[in-house]
Amino acid sequence: MLRPIAGGSMRSALASLLVLLACASAGDPLRYRLTGTGSHWSDGPGAAAVADARERYSAFFEVILDPADTREPDWRPLRRDLEWTPVDRRNFDALNAVAIAYFELNYRAEADRGGSRYLGNSFRATHLLAIPWRAYGEIRDPRLRDAILDFYADAGSGEKLGSAATAPRLAGIVASLEAKERDPARRDRIQQLADALGRAAPAR
C-alpha cells in the first residue's frame, strides 16, 4: 500500500465547510467517515472505516490497493450498494469504499504525473467520482446526499495528500448536482462548495 509523502493546503472557505464534521464523522457508520482523519486515509480515526470497507469489498480492494495490478476493478458492487433502497449501512460503506479507492488512485496519479501510469490511475479515479454523482440523483435520502457532499468536500480539501491538485476539476461535478437538488439549504451548500473548489489553487 502506498503512503503519500507530501500534501497541499486549501483556502479557508473550503476548510470551514469541513471543520464542524471532523470530530463526529469517523465513528458513525451511517455517514461519510473520512473527514478530518488526516493526510492519509488509513491513519488514525479513518482506520475503522477502512477496515469495514475492505471487509465488505475485499475483491475490489485486492485490485485497487496493489500498485502493480493493472486489471480493471469491478465497480458494480459499489454502484449497487450506494444506490440501495431503503438506505442503510451498505450505502455508506460503499461511499467510504469509493472515497478510499479515490484517494489511493488519485495520489498515485499525481505522484506519477507525466509517467507511464498517470493516465490509467487518473482515469480510474475520475470514474470513481462519477459513482456517487449518479447515486445522488437516484437516492433522495438526505443523510446519503449530505454524506456524498461531505466526500466531495473532503476530496477537494487538500487534507488527503495529493488531493488539492485535482480540486478544480471537482467544481464542475459538484455544481452539476444543483440540478438534482430541491432542498434550498442543500442547494446553497452545493453552490458554496462548488465555488470554493473552483477557487482552490492546485498544489505543485
Per-residue pLDDT tens over the stretch 26-38: 457 899 988 877 7
Q: pLDDT under 70 in the chain at which residues?
A: 1-27, 40-45, 201-204
pTM assigned to the model: 0.83
Write the Ramachandran bin of 146: left for phi over 0, alpha for psi from -120 to 50, otherwise beta.
alpha
pLDDT tens string 11-28: 444 444 444 344 444 457
- Do residues 67 and 76 touch, judged by C-beta distance below 8 A? no
Q: What is the pLDDT of residue 169?
A: 82
Which domain covers residue 16, as residue numbers?
Answer: 12-199
**Type of residue numbered 20:** L
Q: What was the pLDDT predicted at 187?
A: 98
How far, in Å, are 14, 37, 65, 189 from residue 167 at the CA level? 11, 18, 22, 17
Using H for helix, E for strand and C for coil, what is the string for 60-115? HHHHHCCCCCCCCCCCHHHHHHHCCCCCCHHHHHHHHHHHHHHHHHHHHHHHCCCC
Confirm whether 1 is domain-assigned.
Answer: no
Beta carbons within 10 angstroms of residue 110's beta carbon? 24
The answer to whether residue 33 sits within a structural domain is yes
pLDDT at 204: 44
Number of domains in the chain: 1
- Domain annotation covers residue 5: no
Residue 122 forms part of a structural domain:
yes
Q: Which amino acid is at 132?
A: P
Residue 158 C-beta-side C-alpha neighbours within 13 Å:
22
Q: What is the pLDDT of residue 181?
A: 97
What integer pLDDT is reported at residue 154 of this predicted model?
Answer: 92
Judge whether 204 lies within some domain.
Answer: no
CA distances in angstroms from 106 to 64, 119, 176, listed in the order given: 11, 10, 21
* Residue 172, pLDDT score: 93
DSSP 3-state helix, strand, coil percentages of the chain (rounded to 5)? Answer: 65, 0, 35
Domain contains 132 = yes
Report yes or no on 168 lying in a domain. Answer: yes
Residue 47 placed within a domain:
yes
pLDDT at 44: 61
